[in-house]
Every structure is written in structure tokens, then in C-alpha cells.
Amino acid sequence: MKIRALLVDDQQTGLAVLRDMLHHSEPDIEIVGMAASGREAVESINQLAPDLVFLDVQMPELDGFEVLAQIKLPRMPIIIFVTGRDDFALKAFEAHALDYLVKPCQLARLRTAVQRARQQMQSHQNGDIQQKLDGLLHDLKAGSKYPERLAVKSDGRILFLRLTDIDLAEAADNYVKLYVGKETHMFRETMTALEEKLPPDRFVRISRSTIVNIESVKELHPMFHGEYMVSLRNGTRVTLTRGYREQLRQLGVMP
């Protein structure tokens, strides 16, 4: 019997890699759809009612956990989370017996996760998936010490910027300049104070004056004296200075 699966990842490369790995190693997996955003994921899950969802945790607009909160199906699909390095979330997944893959996905780990999903389906154990997910969301909410958005004063009004939408932060005298897509906003805060507000699994400081969203990084280009040019997906280029080379680990590169 075919297992109907939906793949969710805001990065096209991630979708393509996961699709190809499943196609070549798991012939009973039928990919019924692929979603590239949280909102698209909610619509696809509610319309297609897949048996299995590979769900990216870190996405703009709606992250993986917010997607789960908007599923309106009488029977919850089995969820395999796909995530970057996030020690707290990994411990939460394990505590609630929920499976996950860490990017970049390894074939052996993928096959193990799919086999567990098969066993749950064959033994009809996915009736308690909703209970597990509810427990996970409760623990993640209780354990998070970081805000989900920043309140920024601009032109006599207050804008609420979601952290996941911020690509880059740069020091500007007594302010921090926030880059959100094609927009910029001045935030009255020091770099050090802002850094304490940002989750370290998602943001990394690459110089005294620059913090980047890890998910916004497209390329790294080695330069002289141990520095790197960091290219973001919006076309912006900033420098990772020599004194912050250890931060390369957070970007998936050994210094």
C-alpha cells in the first residue's frame, strides 16, 4: 500500500534533495505534493490529507509549529520534522517520541524515520499523534525565552516584525538597522541587547556590527586573513570577520 506523503520546506534545494532521496530509496512513498511555505503547507495538508508529512521547522511567515496549530483534519497525519541545529527542539521531539531529521538529511536516518512511520501506520498507532503534538507544542512554548516578534517604532506607528522575517541587523550609531526583505527599519537598541533577544539557533553574529539570519545565508566566499564574504538570499553582502570565525560552526562550516 502506498504511503501518501507531503514535503514541506521553504528552500527549493531541500525539497528537491528530500524528494530524490525518497524516490530512490522508498518505493512505497507516493509524494502527493510539495509546499514551499507555511501557509502553503496548511492549505495542502488540509486539502490532500496526506498520511505522512515531512515538515520543515524553520520557515518565514508560519513556522512548522504554527502550521500544526492550523491543521483541521479529523485524523492527524504522522509528522517527521526536518530541522537545522536546535538542541532544545531535538530534546523535545525525543521526549514526545516524535521523529525528526537534521539538515542536511542523511539517507540512513531518513530510512529509519520512514520505517518508524510505516510501523505506526501498520499498527494503527497514529491515533495518539495529536496528543504527542499537543504536548510538544506546550513544552516548546514553555521553554522558549525568546520573543516571536519585535516592536519597532516608525513614522509615529509601531510595527511588529517577526524574527523569522529579519534577514540582517547592522549597527547604526545608537540604533540597529533591520533588513526585512526589501524594507529597512531603525530599531533603537544596541547590538548586544538585540543579540540577547534573538534565538542563537537562528541568528549568528558575524562581526561587531552585524548579525545575520542563518536561514537567509546563501553563500560563503573565503577572503584574506581568515575573513569570509557572506552573501544573503536578498543579494546583500556582509563580512564575517576573523574574530568571529568560530561562528562558522553555526553556519555548518568547520573553522
Spatial separation of the C-alpha atoms in residues 99 and 90, rounded to whole Å: 9
The domain ranges of the chain are: 3-143, 149-251
H-type alpha helices, the chain: 12-25, 38-48, 64-69, 87-95, 107-122, 129-143, 191-197
What pTM, to 2 d.p., does this model score?
0.57
User: How do residues 111-140 score in pLDDT, each as one tens digit?
Assistant: 999 998 898 887 765 557 777 887 777 766
Asked if 146 and 200 count as a contact pair (C-beta separation under 8 A), the reply is: no
The parts of the chain modelled with pLDDT lower than 70 are 85-89, 91-92, 95, 124-127, 139-147, 254-255
- Cell, residue 71: 491543521
DSSP 176-229: EEEEETTEEEEE-S-HHHHHHHS-TTTEEEEETTEEEEGGGEEEEEE-GGG-EE
| pLDDT at 145 (0 to 100) | 58
| pLDDT at 144 (0 to 100) | 56
| pLDDT at 86 (0 to 100) | 62
| pLDDT at 66 (0 to 100) | 84
Cα 226-223-163 angle, rounded to 5 deg:
85
Q: Which CATH architecture has domain 149-251?
A: Beta Barrel (2.40)
Spatial separation of the C-alpha atoms in residues 160 and 158, rounded to whole Å: 7
Topology of the domain covering 3-143: Rossmann fold (3.40.50)
| pLDDT at 108 (0 to 100) | 93
| pLDDT at 51 (0 to 100) | 93
